[in-house]
Amino acid sequence: MIDLSQYRGIIFDMDGTLIDSMGSHQDAWRAVCEEYGYPWDEDYMYSLGGVPTLQTVVVLNEKYGMSHDPVEVAARKKLLWEEGDHTPKVIAETFAVFEHYRPSMKIGVGTGAERAHAVEMLTDTGILPRIDALVTASDVENGKPAPDTFLQVALQLGLQPAECVVFEDTQIGAKAAAAAGMDYVIVKDGKIQC
């Protein structure tokens, strides 16, 4: 088990870090890209994991020189995702960390997902009643890579940023953790990278 004894709190990203739901998001994004004419680049889209949906559309417009309405495209992505199979399941390695440290540490979730989605996923997996804080894209003005999400989780946990460690699956999330003054651990394809 990874030694986190120097910290007082753990902050988990949700999609792709604590809960395996990235596949269903990728399927929805692939369909949206096809509908709106964005070139599909699976690795690039995965690298945007944790970025709020609305901001992802802004990034895609900038990258590909398009001017689609971000609200319209984000709503379409949400609809396609809701229509798809998105039965959540926990990611074994990170959930083992959660289980191991839950009795002795405060635990929060900081996600780029909208609040309704996060609550649904965390409820379906039984995690929601077991965490001490939840901050979503709906709760902050500036999503990842800004530090706001993780700083807000630390505040809700009653901890200083340096007392927290973040588990993230994207470089954008890692940048947000670093900007918040927190150490981070990368999770890649469900495996903790030490």
Is residue 136 within 8 Å of residue 11, measured between CB atoms? no
CA distance 23 to 161: 31
Is residue 85 within 8 Å of residue 24, measured between CB atoms? yes
Closest CA to 142 of 50, 46, 32: 50
Is residue 120 within 8 Å of residue 43, measured between CB atoms? no
List Cα–Cα distances, 140 to 97, 119, 143, 191, in angstroms.
Answer: 26, 16, 6, 28
Tell me, yes or no, if 13 is annotated catalytic. yes
Q: Which of 3, 13, 27, 148 is catalytic?
A: 13
Q: What is the DSSP letter of 67?
A: -
- List active site positions: 13
